[in-house]
Amino acid sequence: MTADLQKGGMGLRTCLLGLLALIVASKGSYSPEPDQRRTLPPGWVSLGPVDPEEELSLTFALRQQNLERLSELVQAVSDPGSPRYGKYLTIEDVAELVRPSPLTLHTVKKWLLAAGARNCNSVTTQDFLTCWLSVRQAELLLPGAEFHRYVGGPAKIHVVRSLRPYRLPQALASHVDFVGGLHRFPPTSSLRQRPKPQVAGSVGLHFGVTPSVIRERYNLTAQDVGSGTTNNSQACAQFLEQYFHDSDLAEFMHLFGGNFAHQTSVARVVGKQGRGRAGIEASLDVQYLMSAGANISTWVYSSPGRHEAQEPFLQWLLLLSNESSLPHVHTVSYGDDEDSLSSAYIQRVNTELMKAASRGLTLLFASGDSGAGCWSVSGRHQFRPSFPASSPYVTTVGGTSFQNPFRVTNEIVDYISGGGFSNVFPRPSYQEEAVVQFLNSSPHLPPSSYFNGSGRAYPDVAALSDGYWVVSNSVPIPWVSGTSASTPVFGGLISLINEHRILSGHPPLGFLNPRLYQQHGAGLFDVTHGCHESCLNEEVEGQGFCSGPGWDPVTGWGTPNFPALLKTLLNP
């Protein structure tokens, strides 16, 4: 790709003439992301403009082809009733389908070359280009953009962003979806450490969620671990400039992994592991994915976007589009408010998740830790859905608590469990029956003005999210809570089921939702008590949706009963 851009290098005069000709021919310009939020997130401050000669890395999302056909194939390979079930596409198949047209590739390369872009790299599917430019060149290339350096977040990380809208030549309107590396700021973790509940007496009690508590509640035996004889693998991804430490993982397994076979080190780290302090979120993800999906090879995607101008989540999506062999299960504790993202960005990311589903990857996303959420639109309160939790191509994991916080009992709703209805994506056909049943039967529905009842509803499933023990920086930390905990737990159990399927000669499960909804939550404990939080106003008084029999937008179909779930998902 780099060679293509540099082949037959143009002189400065020719470059400028070519760029001028393209802009003149374009008869104006357009804004690819007019609806992108451009306010500075809380906790971030500007350090001022960036040196015009400083280098930036920008990612150009090129217009793809045949997306309707890709959607049909995802449905076919994910539907147990289809003759194509489990016959996943290779990355080469996906590339053949979605690769941008020759005209798109030629037009965008010519435009970037004229602007002085260098060290451009593509991906296997050819639908992303990442190039280096100086700030001066980038601001000329993208009129309206003004790059500043910002600092913020708990780790006080630095990013280079433009809060102003950028424009592209009209001639590129049918060729470029958006440019990454301008607007979106890294999200902050919503993981929290709750106060220890008060209890009298200690007979038969546990003092926080550990791997043995999870294995007891979800009915795993000591034999429910990976065999170590397959190419089965799983992964978690982090985008918060957080790192795990191998020594913390080893200490965690020493303290809590004594009654089941397990691995004490990560098989592969993709991206750069920082040398700083371990983050609780990163530690939690690794420790509970590897203790739930015990003895299974585990990868960690560690903040792959390390340059200040890169968007780490976008860099992870690029990695998925550039690797032919990937872990079967990916758990991700990342989310943004739907309304904070541009339509162009959110639709394109959804397409990337659809590409992953076509390849048989199981993507599990945390549902968020703000209940139904809340924001004000034209002076009226509404619930606030989260993305990618609201994508129809991922399996979204909500959260639960024990009814008695010190006993392994039935589960109830964890009030922070994210859930609701997308304002962007319509309800997919696979969940039509379940969602209509909920809307027609729930006795505690909020006013209809608060949510889009026809949107993609989430979560799909749940697991314990309250009161975890984590080892971070050599210190055992209790009462850590959030759907960042439930997601790797559910992912690890899916990895164990994949292990059985692979040993039986079946393909891995891939995109779970069509099968989960067809089977009406078989193999899951139905969570029927509790509501999650929402707007603190007189109309709803802080209450969002409530759980009930069957599927609901708080805990989905429920939490795993491993032997029953294995039986349900093992065949074909």
- Using CA atoms, how far apart are residues 386 and 405, in angstroms rounded to an integer? 28
- Using CA atoms, how far apart are residues 497 and 225, in angstroms rounded to an integer? 10
- Using CA atoms, how far apart are residues 125 and 99, in angstroms rounded to an integer? 6
Residues sharing a CB contact under 8 Å with residue 560, sequence separation 6 or more, in sequence order: 218, 461, 463, 490, 493, 523, 524, 525
Binding residue positions: 526-527, 550, 552
Q: Can you state the angle between helices 343-358 and 91-98, rounded to 10 degrees? A: 140
Q: Do 255 and 247 touch, CB atoms closer than 8 A?
A: no
Residues sharing a CB contact under 8 Å with residue 317, sequence separation 6 or more, in sequence order: 349, 352
CB 520: neighbour CB atoms within 10 A?
13
The SS3 of residue 34 is coil
Q: Do 548 and 529 touch, CB atoms closer than 8 A?
A: no
285 counts as catalytic: yes
Residues sharing a CB contact under 8 Å with residue 325, sequence separation 6 or more, in sequence order: none
- Using CA atoms, how far apart are residues 248 and 472, in angstroms rounded to an integer? 6
Cα–Cα distances (Å) from 109 to 44, 68, 251, 317, in that order, read 35, 26, 50, 21
**Among 281, 308, 499, 533, the one annotated catalytic:** 281
- Using CA atoms, how far apart are residues 171 and 23, in angstroms rounded to an integer? 8
Of 432, 189, 128, the residue nearest 332 (C-alpha): 189
343 counts as catalytic: no
Binding residue positions for Ca(2+): 526-527, 550, 552
SS3 content of the chain, % helix, strand, coil (to 5): 30, 25, 45
Consecutive H or E run containing 47: strand 45-49
259-296 exposure pattern, b = at least 16 Cβ within 10 A, e = fewer: ebebbeebeeebbebbeeebbbbbbbbbbbbbbbbbbb
What residues act catalytically?
Answer: 281, 285, 484
